[in-house]
Amino acid sequence: MAIRSKTLQLNETIVQNAQFNNEPEWFNALRQKAADLVPTLELPTIDKVDFHRWPLFNFAENEVETTEIPTEVQDELVNYQFASVGYQTVKSELPDEMTAQGVVVTDFQTALDEHADLVRDYFMTKAIQLDEDQLTAVNTALVSSGAVVYVPKNVHLKTPIQLLQVQDSRSKQNFVNHTLVIAEENCSFQLLQRTFTVGEEQNPAHVTVEVIANPGSHVRFSSLDSMSEKTNSYFNRRGNLSRDAQIDWTLGVLNHGNTVADFDSDLNGNGSHAEVQSVAISTGKQVQGIDTRVTNRGKHSEGNILQRGVILDKATLVFNGIGKIIHGAHGAKAQQENRILMLSDEARGDANPILLIDENDVIAGHAASVGRINQQQLYYLMSRGLPKEVAQRLVIRGFLGVILREIPSENVRQQMVDMIERKLIDGQRTK
């Protein structure tokens, strides 16, 4: 059942503070429209996760910006073409070969100044609608940071595009981030989005991504999220796929605070294809709820969902996998697998597969499980002299390996492995 929240009113000052310098009138009007809609809309439904009391809307009216670049960000800059900390863009440098091919990677402010037509055509018009629910309206009204990525027709990039987008919680500062990715016809590229938090203030994080995959394009999108324990997060990543387009999603949900997420792919074109693979780890008293949906509208479209999660301590992890085939999507395929590994008697895990089929000529199936760690594997490793904590981590690595080995970029794969290892070690220390 959807949660209604008509009490949220966006303060006019907060909306004004979110505006970009010299923001075009049409974009400002869109903000105001969204702000007016917020109190009339419902929160999205994440089954089996009651998040309506989370401080997702504790926005700061009097924000304090810190311009000094944190050391942990400076150390990472060499690995990224684009980086931002809070509102501040700290790096935006494309290789010459990308620039020569017409590739655009820029912050939202610059995109509104120099590529306004792109933003107007695609921002909250195809993958997401601003009036879908309260959170999509909030993102439209308060977006204050983000990036726009554009890859032209017939361009095939060998070098991945890598974005670093950091929540600045060294002070009270809002983080409403929006990344718009536009893949023109028959192009192909890899994109990595890395998000994390610096600072100790308790600020909410709203992170939205729209990927517009035009006919024949192929986007490999990887994300690594590790927001802080004090950050309550909402992630909304959506794909809009045209004829014969493909998006391969690899999503690492490794946050330390409470998290809800919508990962949706709309297979609108005939022959479109989405692969969604996600890894999530919950530790401590953390709650994470992830809705992953693939909707087949095009004929002979194909959508596959593979989710694997690990729970320690008193944490909660919920996977809701939804495969939906619309009437008329002849020859469509929808498969999903949701599996959760529990390492604690006090943890709570739910893996909920849902198939909504309104067409006969289709192939669809699902699998789901929530279970304990394999004691035989654990015993074998410990019998070879490994401490229990190390043996557990190796078994978990094997459990998650089915997803990790499918990550196309070795660099991204190693980053995800390192982040998983750190979070598991931190979780074992809290026992």
Question: CB-based contacts of 104: which residues, under 8 Å, 6+ apart?
Answer: 111, 115, 118, 148, 149, 150
Assess if residue 331 is contained within a domain: no
- 250-260: average pLDDT: 96
Residue 193 is encoded by which pair of tokens?
């989005």
The secondary structure element, H or E, covering residue 40 is none
Quick check: 304 pLDDT over 70? yes
Would 149 be classed as within a structural domain?
A: yes
Residue 218 lies in a domain: yes
pLDDT of residue 4: 41
89: Cα within 13 Å, side-chain hemisphere? 19
Contact call for residues 43 and 135 (beta carbons, < 8 A) = yes
**Predicted confidence band of residue 431 (pLDDT cuts 50, 70, 90):** low
The pLDDT of 244-268, averaged and rounded, is: 97
Q: Is residue 239 part of a domain?
A: yes
Identity of residue 243: R
Considering only CA atoms, which of 73, 256, 68, 94 is closest in space to residue 166? Answer: 73
Count Cα atoms within 13 angstroms, Cβ side, for 261.
30
pLDDT at 396: 86
CA atoms of 82 and 94, how far apart (whole Å): 8
Residue 124 backbone dihedrals phi, psi, to 5 degrees: 55, 35
Helices vs. strands in the chain: H and E counts, helices first: 10, 21
The two structure tokens encoding residue 75: 């150390």
Position 130 pLDDT exceeds 50: yes
Residues spanned by the domain of 90 = 3-268
Side-chain-side CA neighbours of 99 within 13 Å: the count stands at: 7
- How do residues 391-406 score in pLDDT, each as one tens digit? 888 888 888 888 888 7
For residue 3, the model assigns a pLDDT of 39
Within a domain: 414: no
pLDDT interval class at 414 (50, 70, 90): confident
Residue 168, judged by CB atoms within 10 A of its CB (0-12, 13-18, 19+), counts as buried
**Residue 202 banded pLDDT, cuts 50, 70, 90:** very high
Q: DSSP for 264-313, please give it.
A: EEEE-STT-EEEEEEEEEE-TT-EEEEEEEEEE-STT-EEEEEEEEEE-T
- C-alpha–C-alpha distance, residues 136 and 37, integer Å: 10
- Mean pLDDT of the chain, nearest integer: 93
Which has more confidence, 56 or 423? 56
| 58 part of a folded domain | yes
212 or 12, higher pLDDT: 212
CB crowding 312-342: b at 16 or more within 10 Å, else e: bbbbbbbbbbbbbbbeebebbbbbbbbbbbb
Please give the C-alpha separations between residue 371 and each of 229, 272, 284, 342, in angstroms, as whole numbers. 26, 34, 18, 6
Query: Shortest CA distance to 291 belongs to which of 213, 367, 350, 357?
Result: 350
Does some domain include residue 212?
yes
Edge-to-edge order in the sheet of strand 218-226: 88-92, 82-85, 161-168, 188-198, 218-226, 246-253, 273-282, 302-311, 333-342, 363-372
Total Cβ atoms within 10 A of residue 35: 21
Percent of the chain, pLDDT > 90?
80
> Is residue 37 one of the residues assigned to a domain?
yes
Q: How many domains does the chain have?
A: 1
Pick the range with the lowest mean pLDDT from 167-181, 198-212, 369-383. Answer: 369-383
In this prediction, residues 87-93 reach a mean pLDDT of 96
Mean pLDDT in residue range 98-124: 97
pLDDT tens track for 269-282: 999 999 999 999 99
Distance CA(383)–CA(377), nearest Å, equals 10
- Here the tokens at position 54 are 């989370």
Average pLDDT over residues 355-367: 95
